[in-house]
Amino acid sequence: MSGLQSAAQIPELRKRILFTLIMLAVYRIGVQVPTPGINSEALTAFFQQNAGTLFGMFNMFSGGALENFSIFALGIMPYISASIIMNLLTVVIPQLESLKKEGESGRRKITQYTRYGTVVLSIIQGSFIAAGLEGMTGPGGEMIVLDPGVQFKLMTMITLTAGTSFLMWLGEQMTERGVGNGISLIIFAGIVSRGPSAIINSFELVKAGEIQVFFVPFIILMMFGIITLIVYFETAQRRIPIQYAKRVVGRQVYGGQSSHLPLKINVSGVIPPIFASSIMMFPATIGSFIQIDWVQRVSAAMSPGTIYYYICFIVMIVFFCFFYAAVQFKPEDVAENLRKNGGFIPGIRPGKRTAEFIDKALTRLTVIGAIYLSAVCVLPTLLIAKLNLPFYFGGTALLIIVGVGIDTISQIESHLVMRNYEGFMKQGRIKGRR
């Protein structure tokens, strides 16, 4: 509480926190604004019937916007998919790679290309969803779309694309003028907002006898155990010792001190599960709306709960762990900066040998991080599927909630420490994940 009181005493930090809260409130209000032309009761009944399928997971990430079929029904996932595509193209296309090295101006151009890609993906997804909804019915056989036709498709496509574009702008504003990463906070808010209803639904399942009472303490202990594991791994790091050589400039002696290079066990944070979930949702969601026999079979095979889904999900997590680590952390650049500043790792020659040593250490840590992320995201979900519980208690949701929470608190604490205030903890500091 003393940390929160200190945060309130800093005008700039107070404004940033207030701005973030207002933007999140705008997002939650937008989730309740429905897209015209939809039978909301039939759609709600449909999602209640398919709560344990891919629709339920997509609805979780959208914060219930898909269930309401609001203007934010697509959520922020098209932006994440566009970011994935742009990162992959940056590695493949030399022109984009050179843009990335140009500094702030190059990053702005890449961000602009990502925005264009978000609009294109939103148009594609909105078109497929609009076409699929026209052929869907509620549990009682009632039509979900009140007035199907070209006008409904066009209106839905434009509305959903505009909603995703507004969410993208909202996230960028929170990142720039608020605290934390705006895109992650939007996903965080969507998952947290579904928590109370998930708890209530779980109690109703217990009352109905669909969940045995003696499983409830086990579920609570499992959640606390997962949260503890996430906090440990997200703040754990390997510290490579760094020694700086002494330099004599005039009559002054510089350097000679010891330091360390911190390498996070989970360098990529919550990015791999979010990216993997986005990739798994995009084709399966589109396929579920196409009424073709082989497409339906593929969509069913890639739905949550199947062995193919979990295998692909783990492969995606491992891939994005290594990909994100390779994109964000360059051992050659770190080794070159150490050499220029007179730093070296004891027992390792500067230059190429240092880069190889750091790369080897980073690879080992990334392997551990990928195993940890895969275990946290998949194993609890398998147990929950056996107990017939909602996705909100799964490892992916807890990982995003805890990881984004740690990032946001770390940013707030950095503002406090910079102005000579104590952080949130009396002893120690919250270590950032990147």
Q: In terms of domains, do 16 and 46 share one? A: yes
| Together in a domain, 275 and 414 | yes
- SS3 of 222-262: the string is HHHHHHHHHHHHHHCEEEEEEEECCEEECCEEECCCEEEEE
Quickly count: other Cβ atoms within 10 Å of residue 133's Cβ: 23
Q: Is 301 among the domain residues?
A: yes
> Are 302 and 335 members of one domain?
yes
- Mark whether 150 and 219 lie in a shared domain: no
Say if 202 falls within a structural domain: no
170: in domain: yes
**What Å distances lie between residue 65 and 47, 226, 324, 358, 434, CA to CA?**
11, 27, 29, 44, 30
The DSSP-derived string for 99-112 is HHTT-HHHHHHHHH
pLDDT digits (tens, 9 = 90+) for 90-132: 877 888 878 877 777 888 888 899 999 999 999 988 888 888 7
Q: Are residues 123 and 173 part of one domain? A: yes
Domain span at residue 44 reads 1-193
Counted domains in the chain? 2
What CATH code is carried by the domain that includes residue 335? 1.10.3370.10
Shared domain for 364 and 412, answered yes or no, is yes
C-alpha to C-alpha distance for 26 and 170, rounded to whole angstroms: 9
311 and 427, same domain (yes or no): yes
Assigned domain for 203 exists: no
Whole-number Å distance between alpha carbons of 151 and 333: 54
Q: How buried is 381 (Cβ within 10 angstroms: 0-12 exposed, 13-18 middle, 19+ buried)? A: buried
**Same domain, residue pair 384 and 331:** yes
395 and 261 within one domain: yes
Weakly modelled stretches of the chain, pLDDT under 70: 1-8, 47-57, 59-61, 138-139, 211, 246-256, 282-292, 295-296, 304, 383-394, 419-434
Q: How far is CA 326 from CA 330, 362, 404, 405, in A?
A: 7, 9, 22, 25
In a domain, 271, yes or no: yes
Residue 205 lies in a domain: no
Are residues 257 and 330 part of one domain?
yes
279 in a structural domain: yes
104, burial (CB in 10 Å: exposed 0-12, middle 13-18, buried 19+):
exposed
256/319 same-domain check? yes
The per-residue pLDDT for range 12-62, each reduced to its tens digit, is 888 888 999 999 999 999 888 888 888 777 777 776 665 555 566 676 667
Same domain, 321 and 368: yes
Answer whether 0.75 is exceeded by the pTM: yes
The pLDDT value recorded for residue 26 is 93
Q: Report yes or no on 180 lying in a domain.
A: yes
